[in-house]
Structure 1
């Protein structure tokens, strides 16, 4: 199903927003320890297809493990807005938290569950 493009979203206080110019193949809910804790549903794309708007220092960046991904959270309201691949094979990729987009966006795109905790495969 097609959604209206661009897909836009913002943190609770509005300090960080995003615009995704393409429709992701599907919305991804991952069960790894980070994504499960953050409660995110991701829309993946190339960095060139996503624009994040925020003043400098508006987000906190968090990386763990192999430090290939940097998760960004608004310093003011605590909403996790996006991640960006900062090294490794995924460098140049980003994902936005579709839970911050308009209601119904995730359902319109299609929702898949990914086993990032164990098998590194989709569960559906």
Structure 2
């Protein structure tokens, strides 16, 4: 199994991804277009987050978006529903060699 290491800009939040992304989700919702997230979706069991990320719950109260309190980078999101076996990891926190050549899947989040 592949393992990839990433972090926010200052290194306070560290991510370990035990999964190999096959595509990158590019969402145009009001939050993603502001944070610049490029998402890999996977089970939370495949990700380790180290450090004290700060959470933000947006209006629909479906997910918590996590960011570094020092440098501000958005690192990942998790579901409010703990039974939902999916999270988003911001691929931009990893070396570009992991994500730069991945196919991009447009996600129309603005229409919801």
Q: How does 1:79-94 map to 2 (within 5 A)?
A: 79-87=73-81, 91-94=84-87
**Displaced runs of 4 or more, over 3 A:** none
1:65-98 deviations in Å (ceiling 9; x for gaps): 221100000001101110001228x723111110
CA-based RMSD of the aligned residues comes to: 1.9
The within-5 A match list for 1:89-108 is: 91-108=84-101
Q: Is 1:68 the equivalent of 2:65?
A: no
Give TM-score, length-normalised by structure 1. Answer: 0.81
For residue 43 of structure 1, what is the aligned residue in structure 2?
Answer: 40
SS of equivalent to 1:5: coil
User: What is the aligned length?
Assistant: 112
Q: In the TM superposition, what whole-angstrom CA distance separates every residue of 1:19-44 from its partner, at most 9, and x where no partner exists?
A: 11112341111000000010110111
Structure 2 residues not aligned, in runs of 5+: none
